Structure 1
Amino acid sequence: MPNTTPRAADTYSPLYFLAALGAGGLAVTFFMYLMFWVPHPGRPVPIFEDIVAAFRTGTPVVQGMIVVAMAGIAVFAVLHFKSLFWNLRQYGALRKTDAFRKIKTSNAETQLLAMPLALAMGVNTGFILGLVFVPGLWTVVEYLFPFAMIAFLAIGVLALRMIGDFLGRVLAKGGLFDMTAHNSFAQLLPAFALTMVAVGFAAPAAMSTAPLVQGISLVGSTFFGMAGIVYAVVAAITGFNAMLHYGTARESGPTLMIIVPLLTVLGIMALRQDHGLHVSFDAHAQAADTLVFLTRMLSVQVVFLLLGLAVMNKQGYLSSFVFGTETSPGSYALVCPGVAMSVMLQFWINKGLVANDLVAKFSTGYWALTAIALAFQVAMIWLVFRLNRRHFGQPRGGMAVPAE
C-alpha cells in the first residue's frame, strides 16, 4: 500500500520561506571562500576569471578549495530556488483560503514578510551565481546594476505594503494585537526583510564605478536599512516586555537570535556603503574604524546568540524540535543565526584583524579563527538537511493548510 503519512510541510506556513532563506545563506558562506581566499585585484569581489586564474596557478589545496566553494554555491543555490518556487506556489494557494484571512487578522500576519525576505535573498543568490559561473559578466555588470536596484526596490515596496497593512490594522484601532502572543522576537521578521533589501540595494555602491549609480544605491540602502532598524528597535522592546510578563513562546525560541542575521546584513551594508563613499565621494574609512565597528556588531551578536541558546536550553527546544519528534516550521529560523555568524566571522577576521595586521593571513592563528566560522557553516549544513528530512521527507498525505 502507498505511504500516505503526511509530511510536516503539508501543513503549510509562510515560515517555510525560511527554508529557502537558509539555503541561500549557505550559498553565501561558500562564496566567502572565494571572496577572501582568491585574489581579485582591482575588483571588490571575485569573478569567474579570477577563480579560473587561481585554479590554474594554485596548489592542489587551493584547487580543492575552489571546487568545494563552487560546488557548495551551486548545490545550495539550487536548493534555495527549489524551495523558493515551492513556497511561492504554496503561498499562492494559501491566499485563496479562509486560513489566510485568519492569518491576516492575527499577530501571525507578520509571518507573511518571510516571502519578501526570501525573494531578496533570491536576487542576492542570483548575483553570486553570475559572478562565479558566468564568464565576462564584469564587462556588462554596470548595465545590470539598475535592474538589480529596481528588483530590490520592488521587493522593498512589497515589504512596506505588507507592513503597512499590518500596522494600519493594529494601530488604527486598539485591541487587535494580542500582547500575550507577542512574547518572542517573531515580530522582528519585517525588520529582517527590510534589512535584507537594504544589503542587496547596497551592492552597487560597492561594485559600481558610476557615481550616480553609487549615489542611488547609497540612498536606497540607507532608507531600507534605517526603516529596518526603527522597526527592529520597537518590536524588540515590546517583545522583550511581553517575554518578561509571559515567558518566551516555546515554538518561537529561535527568534531570540534573529538579531544575529539582522546585524550581519546591516554590517555588510555598511561596508558596501563605505566602499562606495571611498571610490566616488572621497570619504575614507580607516581600517581601525572597520575593526571596531565589526567587533561591536559581533559582540552584540554573541550576546543574543547566548541568550537564545540559554532560553531554548531551558525550554528543551532542540531536544524536541531538532532531535525529538515535534516539528515546527519556525525551526528553520535556527539556520539564519549560524549562517550569519559564519559570514560575520569571515568579515571580522579578514576586514578587521588581517587588515589591521593583528593576524597574518593564512597563518596558524588565521586558520584557527577561520575554523570557528567553518564550524558554524558545517553545523548549519547538517541542520538544513536534517530539517528538510523531517519536514519534507515523507510522502504527501493531504491538503496543505497553514499552521495555527
Structure 2
Amino acid sequence: MTTEKPAETYSPLYFLASLGAGGLAVTFFMYLMFWVPHPGQPVPVFEDLQTVFATGSVALKSAALLAMIGIAVFAFLNVRSLLWNLSALSRFRRSPSYQALRSSNAETTLLAAPLASAMTINAMFIVGLVFVPGLWGLVEYLFPLALVAFLGLGIWAFRLIGDFLGRVLTEGGVFDMTAHNSFAQLLPAFALSMVGVGLAAPAAMSTNSLTVGASLILSTFFGIAAITYTVVASVTAFSSMLRFGTAREAGPTLMVIVPILTVLGILFLRQNHGLHAAFDTHGTAAETMVFLARLLTVQILFLMLGLLVLRRQHYFRDFVFGSKLSPGSYALVCPGVALSVMLHFFTNKGLVGAGLIEKFGPAYWSVTAIALLFQVSMIALVLRLNRQHFRRPAETLVPAQ
C-alpha cells in the first residue's frame, strides 16, 4: 500500500481501512460462533473445528472452511493496513499538514488509530481461537493481558480526546461550528466503545470472578463514556447540519451510529453473560430479543437517513464509483459490517433464543441471508476502495471534518 507523497496526502481516516478489514473478519467468525457446536466454552475454538471437519455435514464443513479462509484473509488485510497506517502516521506527524490538523476540527480523526488498534486485538484473538490448538487452556492467563492492552488503548484514546477538548473548550473560538455539520465528531465515541467491548470480553468468557469483575467495571466505564460522548456530539452536530446542511465529504459519518450501537450491544451482551455466570444474575431470552430489536431499530433509522443524504448528494457517483478520492469513504464499510454482525446476534440470541423461530429453519435462513448480503456487499466495497485509493497515485484528498 503506497500513496503519492503520503506526508502531504495522508489522513488518519485511512485507519478505517484497517478497521473495515478487521470487521469483515468478525463477520466470518459469526459463521463459527452460531453454526458450529462449541460445548464447554462460550466461543468456538480450534478443537471444535476439528470435530466439524471429522464428523460434520458437507454444508457445515464448507461453511467452516469458508469462515476460516475469510478470517485469515481479512485479518491479514487488517494487520497490513494497520502497520501501513502507523508508519504513514509517523511520517505525517513531521509534516506541516499534521500541525494544521491538530488546530482544526479534524484533530479528532486521530482517534481512528486507537479505534483500529482495538479492532486488531479483537481480530487477533479470533485468529488465535480458530487456528491455535490448545489456546483455550491458556485463556485465563491471557485475559489479564488483554485487559491491560485494551486499557492502554483506552488511555491513548482519552489523551487524544483530552488534547482536543482541552484546546477547544479553553481557548474559545477555535472550533468551527460551520464544519461540524456531520457526525465526524462521533469518532472518539466509536473508539471508546471499541475499547469497551474489548474490555468486556473476559466478562463473557472467564471463569475467574476477579477477572470478570474487573472486566465488568472497566467496560462499563468506557461504554458509558462512549454513550455520553455520542449524545453530546450528535446533538451539537445535528444542530449544525440543520443550519448548514451536511458536509458532502463527511456524509458517510451519518451512519456511524450503526457500528457504535453494534459494538455497545455486544458489550452489554458480554456483561450480561458475565453477570449470569459469575454472579448468578439472570436475564430472560425475551428481554435480550427486545433489547437487540431496539438497537436494530435505531440502526435502521440512521441507515435510512444516511443513505437518503448520500443519494441526494450523489456521494456514491463521485467518491465510490467515480474518480474523486476521500479517505472518509471507508466509513461506509462500518455500517454494513455492523448490521451484518447485529443481524447474526439478533437472529440467534434474539429470535432463536426466545423461541420465536427455529434454528436453521426457513425463517432463520431468511433473516441470516440479509446478514450475508450485507457482508458480501461490504467485501465488494472494501476491495473497490482499496483498489481506488491504493493502486494508483492518490488525487487530492478531502478529509472529513
| Residue in 1 that maps onto 2:171 | 173
Task: Decide whether aligned partners of structure 1 residues 5 and 136 sit closer, same or farther in structure 2, where only a CA change above 3 A counts.
Answer: closer
| Residue in 2 that maps onto 1:354 | 352
Q: Structure 2: how far apart are the matches of 1:80 and 1:7?
A: 23
| Residue in 2 that maps onto 1:290 | 288
Asked whether the equivalents of residues 8 and 95 of structure 2 are also in contact (C-alpha less than 8 Å), the reply is no
Q: Structure 2: how far apart are the matches of 1:130 and 1:7?
A: 36
Amino acid at match of 2:134: G
Q: Structure 1: how far apart are the matches of 2:321 and 2:90?
A: 32
**TM-score of the superposed pair, with normalisation by structure 1:** 0.96
Query: 1:123-179 CA distances to partner (integer Å, 9 max, x unpaired)?
Result: 101100010000000111100000000000000000000000000000012101000
| Residue in 2 that maps onto 1:21 | 19
Whether 2:70 is the aligned partner of 1:66: answer no
- 1:320-331, aligned counterparts within 5 Å? 320-331=318-329
Q: Structure 2: how far apart are the matches of 1:402 and 1:328?
A: 5
| Residue in 1 that maps onto 2:363 | 365
Task: Decide whether aligned partners of structure 1 residues 344 and 56 sit closer, same or farther in structure 2, where only a CA change above 3 A counts.
Answer: same
Q: Structure 1: how far apart are the matches of 2:387 and 2:79?
A: 17
Secondary structure of 2:312's aligned partner: helix
User: CA RMSD of the aligned region, Å?
Assistant: 1.8
Asked whether the equivalents of residues 197 and 264 of structure 2 are also in contact (C-alpha less than 8 Å), the reply is yes
Task: Decide whether aligned partners of structure 1 residues 5 and 359 sit closer, same or farther in structure 2, where only a CA change above 3 A counts.
Answer: closer
After TM superposition, give the deviation of residue 402 of structure 1 in Å: 9.1
Q: Structure 1: how far apart are the matches of 2:54 and 2:272?
A: 33
Secondary structure of 1:40's aligned partner: coil
Amino acid at match of 1:126: M
| Residue in 1 that maps onto 2:227 | 229
| Residue in 2 that maps onto 1:250 | 248
Q: Structure 2: how far apart are the matches of 1:170 and 1:403?
A: 20
- 1:49-198, aligned counterparts within 5 Å? 49-198=47-196
Q: Structure 2: how far apart are the matches of 1:381 and 1:55?
A: 26
Q: Structure 2: how far apart are the matches of 1:7 and 1:29?
A: 34
Task: Decide whether aligned partners of structure 1 residues 352 and 401 sit closer, same or farther in structure 2, where only a CA change above 3 A counts.
Answer: closer
| Residue in 1 that maps onto 2:260 | 262
Task: Decide whether aligned partners of structure 1 residues 396 and 356 sit closer, same or farther in structure 2, where only a CA change above 3 A counts.
Answer: closer
Amino acid at match of 2:27: T
Secondary structure of 2:174's aligned partner: coil
Asked whether the equivalents of residues 195 and 265 of structure 1 are also in contact (C-alpha less than 8 Å), the reply is yes
After TM superposition, give the deviation of residue 97 of structure 1 in Å: 1.4
Match among 236, 239, 242 for residue 238 of structure 1: 236
Amino acid at match of 1:335: V
Q: Structure 1: how far apart are the matches of 2:216 and 2:53?
A: 34
Identity of aligned residues (%): 64
Asked whether the equivalents of residues 105 and 175 of structure 2 are also in contact (C-alpha less than 8 Å), the reply is yes
Give structure 1 stretches of 5+ with no counterpart. none
Match among 2, 9, 12 for residue 11 of structure 1: 9
Whether 2:276 is the aligned partner of 1:278: answer yes
Query: 1:12-36 CA distances to partner (integer Å, 9 max, x unpaired)?
Result: 1000000000000000000000000
**TM-score of the superposed pair, with normalisation by structure 2:** 0.97
Q: Does 1 or 2 have the higher relative contact order (CA < 8 Å, sep 6+)?
A: 1
Amino acid at match of 1:360: E
Task: Decide whether aligned partners of structure 1 residues 374 and 170 sit closer, same or farther in structure 2, where only a CA change above 3 A counts.
Answer: same
- 1:390-401, aligned counterparts within 5 Å? 390-394=388-392
After TM superposition, give the deviation of residue 11 of structure 1 in Å: 1.7
After TM superposition, give the deviation of residue 278 of structure 1 in Å: 0.3
Give structure 2 stretches of 5+ with no counterpart. none
**Aligned residue pair count:** 399
- 1:201-240, aligned counterparts within 5 Å? 201-240=199-238
Q: Structure 1: how far apart are the matches of 2:186 and 2:385?
A: 23
Asked whether the equivalents of residues 11 and 402 of structure 1 are also in contact (C-alpha less than 8 Å), the reply is no
After TM superposition, give the deviation of residue 202 of structure 1 in Å: 0.2
After TM superposition, give the deviation of residue 403 of structure 1 in Å: 5.3
Amino acid at match of 2:165: L
After TM superposition, give the deviation of residue 102 of structure 1 in Å: 0.6
| Residue in 2 that maps onto 1:315 | 313
| Residue in 1 that maps onto 2:37 | 39
Amino acid at match of 1:221: S
Secondary structure of 1:42's aligned partner: coil
Asked whether the equivalents of residues 94 and 401 of structure 1 are also in contact (C-alpha less than 8 Å), the reply is no
After TM superposition, give the deviation of residue 395 of structure 1 in Å: 5.6
After TM superposition, give the deviation of residue 5 of structure 1 in Å: 9.6
Amino acid at match of 1:111: T
Amino acid at match of 2:327: P
Task: Decide whether aligned partners of structure 1 residues 395 and 187 sit closer, same or farther in structure 2, where only a CA change above 3 A counts.
Answer: closer
Which stretches of structure 1, 4 residues or more, deviate above 3 A after TM superposition?
4-10, 400-404
Secondary structure of 2:281's aligned partner: coil
Q: Structure 1: how far apart are the matches of 2:251 and 2:325?
A: 13
Range moving further from structure 2, 256-265 or 323-332: 323-332
After TM superposition, give the deviation of residue 281 of structure 1 in Å: 0.7
